[in-house]
Amino acid sequence: MKRALIVHGGCDEGFLPQKEMELRTQGVRKAFEIGLDVLQGSDSALDAVESVIVTLEDDPHFDAGISGSFSNMIGEIEMDASIMDSNEAAGAVIRIKNFAHPISVARKVMEEIPHIILSGKGAEIFARLMGFRETSPDEQHANTDNREMEKLPENYREFVKKYSKLLAEQRLFSTVGAVAVDSKGRIVAGTSTGGIAHAFPGRVGDTPIIGAGTFASISAGASATGLGEGILRVGVTRKLVELIEGGQAVQKACDRVIEICSKRGSPCGVIALDDEGNAGISHNGFFMPTMYSRFD
């Protein structure tokens, strides 16, 4: 059976400087090469996806992990991640703080506890129990999007107006994700993010929600990036996989879900692999770095 790996570094709708595009492309290439080595060596789609995303979580040019995640409105880094395989095993963490690799914690949720999602303090307690090292504040370098930090105002209704306008102006979505297929036919998809710039504390996007940011079945796996609220409304990755299960080619299925998102005005990008390792890549943004390989 063919093995395959595909990686994305997020979909940006707005303009990026050429140097930043080059650095993100280099970052995706580095993570992809590490994941490819793991897939070739261990023949484990799960290990490959985790290794790719861990590498991207350590890269400050992506919105994931403690190095590059956007800070929220009160200056905190809150991160989400999820992972799922074709046996319908899944794990996710929501709004976890102070741990460098949320994707690894999500994998442990999948493997070590009879739940799919842990959030906030519960996710952090679980991470400590699993032996993950908690980071100190001075190890965290939040991406503040070069804008003055918003503060929670006393006038809530005025705040909602300003906040809604801020959300409408979001253009940078450098969430990271990967999908892999190993020779045993196991398909694994994973996604990790720090959310959106200046988010309201506790805001949850699509990344940790199975069927929105990440989904896998025996037929295909997918990872999404973009504005989480729009991806949640469409159920992008589940819809994409269901289209493939219904007989559509993987690229056509990717194009179809992006068409749906575009009609709704939702920035979005997707990657997917079917059970034969065929790839699909589609987005409606300005730039989405990706890499893909399929081999025996």
Single-letter residue type at 246: G
Judge whether 175 counts as a catalytic residue: yes
CB half-sphere exposure, 288, CA atoms < 13 A? 25
Which of 175, 191, 237, 290 does the annotation list as catalytic? 175
The secondary structure of the chain as a DSSP string is: --EEEEEE---B-S---HHHHHHHHHHHHHHHHHHHHHHHHH--HHHHHHHHHHHHHT-TTSSSHHHHPBP-TTS---EEEEEEETTS-EEEEEEE-SBS-HHHHHHHHHHHSS-SEEEHHHHHHHHHHTTPPBPPGGG---B-TTSPPP---S-HHHHHHHHHHHHHT------EEEEEE-TT--EEEEEEE--STTPPTT---STTSBTTTEEE-SSEEEEEEE-HHHHHHHTHHHHHHHHHHTT--HHHHHHHHHHHHHHTT--EEEEEEETT--EEEEESSSB--EEEEEE-
Looking at the annotation, which residues are catalytic? 175
